[in-house]
Amino acid sequence: MNYFLLAMGGAIGAIARYLIGLALVKKSPISFIPIAMLSVNLLGSLGLGVFYGQFYGEIPRGTYTDPFFLVFGLGFFGAFTTFSSFSVEAAMLYQQKQWKKLYLYVGLSIFGSITCFLCSFLILSS
C-alpha cells in the first residue's frame, strides 16, 4: 500500500510540474534564467512548508510509513520539485559561460527555496 501511495503522489506531482513548467515556458519562451524550473522549485518549497506546518507543526522525522507524508511530502512534492533539472540547467549556463545568469539562478534556487519553505513552515507551525 505504501508503494501505491508514493506512486500516486509522485505521478500527480510530476504531471503538475510538467503542466506548470509548460505554461510558464509558453508564457515566457525566452527568459533571462530558467524561470519555469525556478518557479516550480520555489512553489514546491513553499507548498512543502505549508504541508509540514499544517499537518505536523514540525519538520517530521521517521514518517516513511505515514500515508499523508508518502502521498504529499515524499510523493507529490518530491516529484514536483526537481534538483536534477535544476542541476542540468545550471550546468548549461556554466558551459555557456553565462556567469551572471548562473549565479543568479543558483542563488535564487537555493536560497529562495529555503526561504520559501521556512517562511511558510514557520508561519503555520507557530
Is the four-CA dihedral 7, 62, 113, 92 of positive or negative sign?
A: negative
Grid cell listed for 3: 508503494
Cell 517562511, residue?
Answer: 119
Q: How far apart are the first and last CA of the chain?
A: 33
CB 85 within 8 A of CB 11: no
**Annotated binding-site residue? 63:** no
The answer to whether 81 is a known ligand-binding residue is yes
Cell of 47: 507548498
Closest CA to 55 of 126, 124, 1: 124
Cα(68)–Cα(65) distance, rounded to whole angstroms? 9
Q: Which residue ranges are tagged as binding site for Na(+)?
A: 78, 81
Q: Which residue ranges are tagged as binding site?
A: 78, 81
